[in-house]
């Protein structure tokens, strides 16, 4: 799954640790999501969407989408 987490985080000058704290996950989880090595759970995706004030689809995209 592709995502814009790193870009959105950087736009706010947040470290991975900052974002991890806001989403109540580990920094390693944020790192894995940003690198595309881990797909977040649906509750975590909703939490990220609320935090960034975006729709889930604006943050996460299926690799098979054109």
Dist. CA 21–CA 51, nearest whole Å: 12
The predicted model scores a pTM of 0.90
> Do residues 30 and 20 touch, judged by C-beta distance below 8 A?
yes
Confidence band, pLDDT 50/70/90 cuts, at residue 63: confident
Q: Where are the domains of the chain?
A: 2-54
In this predicted model, what pLDDT tens digit does every residue of 2-38 receive, in sequence order? Answer: 999 999 999 999 999 999 999 999 999 999 999 999 9
The CATH number that domain 2-54 falls under is: 1.10.260.40
């Amino acid at each position: 799954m592709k995502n814009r987490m790193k870009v959105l985080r950087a736009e706010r000058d947040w470290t991975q640790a900052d974002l991890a704290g806001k989403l109540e996950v580990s920094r390693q989880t944020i790192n894995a999501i940003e690198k595309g090595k881990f797909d977040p759970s649906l509750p975590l995706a909703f939490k990220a969407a609320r935090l960034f004030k975006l729709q889930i689809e604006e943050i996460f995209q299926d690799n098979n989408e054109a």
